Amino acid sequence: MLSKSLQVPLEQLIAEDIPKMTLIIKDEEIKQCDRNTHIMLFGTLLIAISIYPIMSWLGWWGYGPVAILWLIIMRSALRIERFKKTYDVQTYR
């Protein structure tokens, strides 16, 4: 819609924004976001794989380790969302 109203190809609009975004976001912050993404991904896989053995081995006490893992995952997810909100990172559709 915007490309039609401005009579500019969409590729040109996007091509101009990408260098600006790379200058705005620092490499250190990108590494931190990547690290948080890995923590969230591997933590989710760890919970999915280990929840049954933990709960069967520890019974009701198994909720403790699962809750701690869940809090770590949620903290990483919130950091990722804060990063996306700070730098206005959105998925193009």
Q: What is the Cα–Cα distance from 86 to 79, expressed in whole angstroms?
A: 10
Q: How many CB atoms lie within 10 A of CB 5?
A: 7
Give per-residue pLDDT as tens, 30-43.
889 999 999 999 99
Span 67-83, average pLDDT? 95
How far apart are alpha carbons 25 and 20 in whole angstroms? 9
Write the pLDDT tens digit of every residue in 58-72. Answer: 999 999 999 999 999
Q: Report pLDDT for 9.
A: 67
Say yes or no to pLDDT of 2 above 60: no
The answer on pLDDT for 13 being more than 70 is no
Token pair 């790379």 in the structure block, residue:
22
